[in-house]
Structure 1
């Protein structure tokens, strides 16, 4: 059972999304100062008691960082009190002393990145302690003694806590790291870094203790891997299909010889293009082998025996690679595997999400995020064949697949081109990948300390590109092991109440330590989808008559109840000033392409620039719909709260 974690984010109070039913109270929480829709909200600090009335004594102690909306404020005997409730729908439940609460204003929270390629994040008790590190041109001189003392004594001066040794996966164990305040600085080493004051509390379920370190070796004996090849099987891919089959057959022989049949499983998905556009190609995607069902090497070979190149040509050179990826991501039960890999093999770029031939409506950004949600590392072997070069396809494909193959845990792009589409070189890459993954699992099974130590037992790679691939796989394998051990041992975020951290590694200051998420309620996500849809409609119309776009949006804003004075301003203005977007987006610390777009800029763009803007916005809209349907990841932040105040942690990059 996953430990219950009470880490609540200091985010903005969320607006009412639905009208109250007649049976509910008409009471609503107090609004934040200067806001029309954002309610006041607080979190409790340890020991806070919920009293029956203002100034009351006794009452039940609330879990630290419980979320409450503020309905009234009063003062009793010189002490300020708050009437609070668990949601924004009229269910006030008692009174809290203001002194034991913290205002909840910013709608941002942090999650840890996988620490495979960086040191564990340290929580500093004071800002000055963190600044001492960044004011040093050689920060290692400040950091090394602290880490040495932490390893030796378990504590160090000025350090409140450390990030867990093993990765805490937000998808597996929901937690939030609240931001109390933050600032951006330039370090002495020349990097832009954010200093963040954060707060957190984690609490395991009663009677449930974290697994003892002595059990780690035993846990690693259960570590396994699932590998799914996603192969372009259009008419030009015959030799590569056969060589992939051969590679998997070889590696299965090796797996069975090493008695690892239960530890490594392979699957295969084939993809082509739109059947409507080219009926003779038979299918868009097909799962030939699910790694969860494959029994052994001979079973795999039997299942993929019918895989051949398409009997007819497709419409264009680009194919529906994203459809093949999504079948592998959605239809494999990835939770059965500790290490999770997809290997995309193609000689062509992917059909973009806004094309009529796209069966997913998604682009590389969205596929990458979907893979990350499952903890999947995506490797791309891009065959740079003469056919692709003649059609000018290589640059497009490389851009797509570098993005798609960026592993969110480390920021590493697992994209590997194969020059001229050389079949022999391709075979070496596939053999090396399959063997390295198998050796990683074997290394963990045997208890070897370095997850990739067995990788170098084979012959050295013949070229620098293959060496890079092996080094990357070494690091990704380590990240997979950290994630697996984090889940297996019940790793939790540190029980810190307040501290200072950096969003970049203290020494390798280009490496991020955290990722930003925005919490949205169902109502907010619905409103956001409606607004983006309206902007898309106006933008599409604007392609025909560019000067009409902002006029149409002013009409939409008026119909949606925006401030009339704001809407009727005749000067060129940003989309964000039209009153279309919710106030919960106002204070997000990022540069929004949509909110910052003004009429003058739109009119200055050529048709291609406008189409790219529309395409990016359309793919985000399709992703919002996926979030809405992802019922397992909507989270309640307060016991007894109305489900309409449940939230979804949306990656910052998916905001408009």
Structure 2
């Protein structure tokens, strides 16, 4: 009898264990978020609690299915995904809880100092609170430059840019807090973790250049540095003079390229754009590739390919043209991987058709197109022709193109207006820009350390106006950023070999410049759920344009069908969207202010029609961007070996969250 009872108890215990293993443990206070941990170096995965086992790669992500005590220590039963598969036990002491599935991406360090990783939070706080942070930072950087350790500093950011789009790395955020610096900037103190392979890493700097980043090594790497410049030009009525002047500028630069034997280093391309052909069939095309820089052989070949380019014979249905379709044509259809420096030069006398307009060929707005351009590392210049005909359009177009042409991480806008659409002034800008890019490639090819040293080699400095000089200075900065990205890729630069440290999300001296961008790592199901919910909110918002009170009534009904807590659906005008229980818990603790989550009924009713329409437009463009993420098979990442593909994640920029 006792044996039967014991056997039944054992069976019950095993059954309960299997049932518990069906799903990971939930985070405290959460209903849908599972417990996750990251492994530290030398963490061993064993078959049983308390036993030794196989060392796991640092920063492997595991889901926690069970917690147990063995030998006065806590152990975790873990699996690579959230779908019931467990593979062994880890000592809790060699793991770190990862509550928010966030990671950081370094911005390009071309316009700022390299990010420092501090051992203690207080050391970082003392610098931020100091009236003169330079006096604290300078001695630390001096020691690091000499290859010595600096007090309190664990590592520094690599010298060259590590592009998350090309080499995914995990720099997870463990915790963070927003503070106000002595200089009046809002900054985040972030507790982060970072591990990368140690081979070829310079201590304490953490720059991963095999064999060391000596000048001779850098010069040899830059021998293969090349540039592609794709002009994206408005080819609607009134554009013929600018089309012709662009051809002339490229022709002149090709002469320079030939003289300096840079034919393999500098390539040009051209895309033309108009507007929606369903609205006006006579426009012939929305966008068209006339010359792909990968296939253009030389000057004669380029000129032959663009010889037929002429302005349209009919007018578009609106003054704005589909500039974003032209830019995205260049981004998507050119193989940018063949080039180190990557430029799009947009030329238009009109504003761009926004993504929510039925005439739009992309469904994207300026911010989304800029993000898409950052994936292959393309800088977008805009030469905006402020002609008299577009006077009422200038302000709106300038705002669009300022946003479109801001180069990530540098706070540099590559937007340049051409007042009154002056063809001569336009020509000088095109000449200067094309020549500057060519000179930068020459400087790199010749092994010159200062990328801007040859910038004005072909022009008298006094001849450049202040506007043109700014354009040349900006070109030098962006060219330097392109080199850092290129060298980072060529040398296999990795994130620093640090485990846990404190950083600032802004440069400690130039506090207006970000050092990192935040990425939210969403699974397929999370992205799908987010898209579905945004569609519901969008439908309700469109209904709310007719009847403002209708929006939240409809959302409460939707929330109820989704199984939301009835207590959350109280009929209160102050209830925020976040409190309706429709959006995932993973959004609740993100370190940002969300217009969508914070929206309540009182605020919605207080907005005028224009504010409500702006909210709807923003939501619409983000929704269309999620569709692009879902289809972007190259950038879905597995965070654990042998994990279910459904737990692969996509690094969504924080600004693209609702």
TM-score (norm 2): 0.94
Q: Compute the displacement of 1:145 (Å).
A: 1.2
Mapping of 1:150-165 within 5 angstroms?
Answer: 150-165=144-159
| Partners of 1:617 and 1:273 in 2: CA distance | 24
Map Cα deviations across residues 118-165 of structure 1 (whole Å, 9 max, x no partner): 011111111222122222212111111111111113321211111100
What corresponds to 2:286 in structure 1? 284
Answer whether contact 2:24 2:64 (CA < 8 A) is retained: yes
Answer whether contact 1:235 1:309 (CA < 8 A) is retained: yes
Match of 1:255 among 247, 254, 257: 257
Answer whether contact 1:24 1:90 (CA < 8 A) is retained: no
| Partners of 1:628 and 1:383 in 2: CA distance | 36
**More deviation, 478-487/570-579:** 570-579
Answer whether contact 2:199 2:210 (CA < 8 A) is retained: no
1:37 aligns with 2:54: no
Answer whether contact 2:409 2:514 (CA < 8 A) is retained: no
Mapping of 1:177-576 within 5 angstroms?
Answer: 177-203=171-197, 210=210, 212-213=212-213, 214-389=216-391, 392-457=392-457, 458-460=459-461, 461-576=463-578
**More deviation, 90-99/205-214:** 205-214
Map Cα deviations across residues 254-313 of structure 1 (whole Å, 9 max, x no partner): 101110000000000000011111111111110000011100011000000000000111
1:614 aligns with 2:616: yes
Q: Compute the displacement of 1:46 (Å).
A: 1.6
Answer whether contact 2:374 2:408 (CA < 8 A) is retained: yes
| Partners of 1:369 and 1:432 in 2: CA distance | 27
TM-score (norm 1): 0.94
What corresponds to 2:45 in structure 1? 50
Q: Any idea what SS the aligned residue of 2:456 has? A: helix
Q: Compute the displacement of 1:180 (Å).
A: 2.0
Map Cα deviations across residues 602-641 of structure 1 (whole Å, 9 max, x no partner): 1111111111110110000000000000000000000011
Answer whether contact 1:224 1:441 (CA < 8 A) is retained: yes
| Partners of 1:432 and 1:153 in 2: CA distance | 40
Q: Compute the displacement of 1:565 (Å).
A: 2.1
| Partners of 2:198 and 2:251 in 1: CA distance | 45
| Partners of 2:524 and 2:86 in 1: CA distance | 21
Q: Compute the displacement of 1:204 (Å).
A: 6.6
Q: Compute the displacement of 1:409 (Å).
A: 3.3
Map Cα deviations across residues 372-394 of structure 1 (whole Å, 9 max, x no partner): 111000000000000001xx100
Answer whether contact 2:60 2:639 (CA < 8 A) is retained: yes
Q: Any idea what SS the aligned residue of 1:516 has? A: strand
Q: Any idea what SS the aligned residue of 2:105 has? A: strand
Q: Compute the displacement of 1:331 (Å).
A: 0.2
In structure 2, the CA distance between the partners of 1:523 and 1:206, relative to structure 1 (3 Å rule), is farther
Map Cα deviations across residues 515-554 of structure 1 (whole Å, 9 max, x no partner): 1111100000000000001101111111112211111111
1:113 aligns with 2:107: yes
Structure 2, unmatched stretches of 5+, are 1-17, 202-207
Answer whether contact 1:409 1:479 (CA < 8 A) is retained: no
| Partners of 1:81 and 1:26 in 2: CA distance | 15
Answer whether contact 1:518 1:652 (CA < 8 A) is retained: yes
Answer whether contact 1:211 1:489 (CA < 8 A) is retained: no
In structure 2, the CA distance between the partners of 1:459 and 1:206, relative to structure 1 (3 Å rule), is closer
C-alpha RMSD over aligned residues: 1.7
| Partners of 2:182 and 2:357 in 1: CA distance | 47
Mapping of 1:89-168 within 5 angstroms?
Answer: 89-168=83-162
| Partners of 1:612 and 1:539 in 2: CA distance | 11
Answer whether contact 1:124 1:501 (CA < 8 A) is retained: yes
